[in-house]
Amino acid sequence: MEVLTKTETLATANSNDLSEFNRSSVLKPVWQIVNSIGPYAGCWALMIYLIQQEFPFWLYLLISVPAAGFLVRIFIIFHDCCHRSFFVSSTANAIFGYIFGIFIFTPYEKWRSLHLKHHGTTGNLDKRGTGDIWTLTVEEYKTASTWDRLLYRVVRNPLLMLGLGPITYFLISQRIWYRKANRKQILSVMLTNVILGLIIYLSHLTFGLATYLVIQIPIILIAGAAGIWLFYVQHQFEGVYWARQEDWDRTRAAMEGSSFYKLPRILQWISGNIGFHHIHHIRPQIPNYNLESCFNKYAEFQSVKSITLRKSIKSLFLNLWDEQQGKLISFRTARSL
C-alpha cells in the first residue's frame, strides 16, 4: 500500500482514533520538568564551582555538552507549551511557556505565533517564509540576483547554519519583534529581554559576568546548533513533500513533508520524541510524552520511511526544490539542468 493511500485513510479516521493521545497528563509534565530543569541547574552549579576553583577550561566546557542536551529538552517542553498541549491547563501552558522561554532566550508569544503559522503552511510552496528554513526552487535560484544567490548559499552552508545560526537566531533575532507583531507579542519580547537582562546583572553581582558568559555562551551555541539541525532535518530530507497551493494537501504535508527521525534512544529522550514529527504535524495537540505511544499503536505512522542519524547527513546537500522532478536536489545537480 502506498503512503498516499495510508494518509488518506488516516485523514478520515484520525479525529477519533487519536483523541486518547491528545489528553495531557497531570504527573508526566511535572516529572519532565524535574528531570530536565534539575540536571540543567546541576550542570550550571558544577561549572560555576569548577571555574571558581580554577579547574582547566576543557573540563567545564565538556560539561556544557550534557547541559546543552538538557536545554534542548527544555526547548521541547517550551514547544509543547506553545501548542498548549504540555499541561492540562491553558493558563499553565502560557505561564510556563514564558518561564521556559527565558531559559532558551526565546519570547513565548512571538515564537508561538510564528510556529503555529508554520504548521499551517508546511510543504506549501506558495506560503514559504514563516517559521521555516529558507528554501528556493531551482527556477527561483537561477533567476535571482547575484547577491541573493550568494546570501542563499551562506544561509544553506552547513558550517554557517549550525555555527552562526544559533547566534543569529537565539541571541539576536529573538531580541526584536517582527514588523506585524501585535501588542501581546511585542510585550512578550520586551518582558523576555528585561528578565534576561536582570539575570545577567544578578549573575554579575554574584558569581561574575565573565563566569556567566563562559558558561552560557557554549551551552546556547551547542543547544542552538542541535535545535536548528533538528528543525532543518524535519522538513529538509530526501523524498520530502512540497506542492503549490492548488495541489497542496495538509495530510500529505504532515505525513510526507515532516520526517520520522529515528534517533538512538538517548537522543530521542533528549529531543523529547520530536523525531516523530510526522505525528506531531498530523495532531500538534499531542504532547511529546504521548508521541511514542501513538506511533506504536498505528501502523500508518510506522509505515513512513524513517531517517536515521547517518542518512540524515545527506540532507545538508539538498538545497533547492526542483518542481519538474518534485524533489530536493543539490546545487551541483541544479547546475546541470
Share of the chain above pLDDT 70, in %: 95
Cα Rg of the chain (Å, integer): 21
Task: Indicate the pTM of the whole model.
Answer: 0.93
173-190 pLDDT per residue, tens: 999 998 889 999 999 999
305-334 pLDDT per residue, tens: 999 999 999 999 999 999 999 999 999 999
Alpha helices in 54-157 (DSSP H): 57-82, 90-103, 108-121, 138-143, 146-156
Residue 66 has pLDDT above 50, yes or no: yes
Q: Can you give the pLDDT at residue 145?
A: 96
Q: Can you give the pLDDT at residue 179?
A: 86
What is the DSSP pairing of strand 136-137 with strand 320-322? parallel
Q: Can you give the pLDDT at residue 41?
A: 98
Q: Which amino acid is at 249?
A: D
8 pLDDT band (50/70/90 cuts)?
Answer: low
337 pLDDT band (50/70/90 cuts)?
Answer: confident
The cell for 226 is 542541535
The cell for 148 is 541573493
Domain range summary for the chain, segments of one domain joined by +: 3-132+169-304
Residue 1 has pLDDT above 50, yes or no: no
27-56 pLDDT per residue, tens: 999 999 999 999 999 999 999 999 999 999
67-88 pLDDT per residue, tens: 999 999 999 999 999 999 999 9
Residues 273, 125, 255, 73: what is their CA dihedral angle, to the nearest 10 degrees?
0
273: alpha, beta or left? (left if phi > 0; alpha if psi -120 to 50): left
104-137 pLDDT per residue, tens: 999 999 999 999 999 999 999 999 988 889 999 9
Q: Can you give the pLDDT at residue 212?
A: 97
Q: Can you give the pLDDT at residue 44?
A: 97
Residue 287 has pLDDT above 60, yes or no: yes
Residue 10 has pLDDT above 60, yes or no: no
> In angstroms, rounded to a whole number, what is the distance separating the alpha carbons of residues 190 and 183?
11
128-170 pLDDT per residue, tens: 988 889 999 999 999 999 999 999 999 999 999 999 999 999 9
Residues 6+ apart with CB under 8 A from 250: none
Residues 6+ apart with CB under 8 A from 11: 251
